């Protein structure tokens, strides 16, 4: 069951493709503005050029390629979780949210975030996705379609999710995705058998996010702040 947020507005930025480190600095800037009360809760929906990112722990053993030879950047971050891949065709969502509005219940917050994709995939595509007993994220069978990894900076969230839409799944062979060696990954394109229109999909997903988290209104902004 989603939380009820009274008189709350969600701002959603859709800037297109943004280099990972540039987007990371943007997140830190928005976190400070959210903490200062200068902005409300914010969701960024974007794509990245190919990049590998890691969480707080050392994860070199889960990277299976020579990243320098292939010129694939590896960025260490403050989020939870293991190594993951971002690239074109994958919709990455960054959540700048004050957890004080959610009674500081991070487990329920993540549960609701997983609900967004379970509901979206069911209502829009008739795909039955679910949670996994041991692993975070959203799964279709034994294949992960949405990875989730958050960081909390003094009660303000950052980072978020990576939703495989038209993602090149061969790129996941560069790593042990999220440190899980006995499971696979999938994409919406693979499950439906056709490439998806990101421009059509993004506002529909944003609306499901707004509904699950019970925001009163939403402003969709194409571009940066």
Q: Which helix (H) or strand (E) holds 53?
A: strand 51-54
Catalytic entry in 12, 51, 140, 178: 178
Here the contacts of 53-62 (C-beta below 8 Å, separation 24 or greater) are 53/20, 53/77, 53/79, 53/83, 53/84, 53/86, 54/82, 54/83, 55/79, 55/80, 55/81, 55/82, 55/83, 55/149, 56/80, 57/82, 59/83, 59/179, 61/176, 62/175, 62/176, 62/179
Residue with tokens 């799964």: 139
- Residue 115 makes CB contacts below 8 A (sequence gap 6+) with 2, 212
Q: Is 119 a catalytic residue?
A: no
Give the orientation angle of helix 106-125 with respect to helix 198-212, to 10 degrees.
Answer: 130
CA–CA gap between residue 136 and residue 147 (Å, rounded): 7
Structure tokens belonging to residue 44: 């960024």
The residues carrying an active-site annotation are 178
């Amino acid at each position: 069951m989603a939380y009820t947020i009274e008189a709350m507005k969600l701002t959603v930025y859709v800037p297109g493709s943004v280099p990972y480190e540039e987007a990371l600095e943007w997140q830190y800037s928005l976190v400070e503005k959210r903490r200062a009360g200068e902005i409300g809760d914010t969701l960024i929906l974007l794509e990245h050029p190919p990049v590998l990112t890691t969480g707080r722990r050392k994860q070199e053993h889960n990277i299976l390629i020579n990243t320098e030879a292939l010129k694939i950047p590896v960025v260490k971050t403050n989020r939870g979780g293991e190594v993951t891949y971002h690239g074109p065709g994958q919709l990455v969502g960054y959540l700048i949210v004050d957890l004080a509005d959610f009674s500081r219940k991070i487990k329920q917050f993540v549960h609701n975030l997983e609900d967004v994709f379970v509901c979206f995939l069911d209502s829009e595509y008739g795909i039955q996705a679910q949670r996994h007993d041991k692993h975070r994220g959203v799964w279709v069978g034994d294949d992960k379609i949405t990875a989730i990894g958050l960081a909390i900076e003094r009660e303000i969230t950052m980072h978020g999710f990576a939703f495989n839409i038209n993602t090149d799944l061969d790129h996941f062979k560069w790593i042990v995705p999220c440190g899980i060696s006995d499971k696979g990954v999938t994409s919406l394109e693979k499950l439906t058998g056709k490439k998806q229109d990101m421009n059509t999909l993004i506002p529909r997903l944003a609306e499901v996010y707004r509904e699950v988290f019970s925001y009163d209104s939403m402003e969709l902004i194409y571009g940066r702040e």
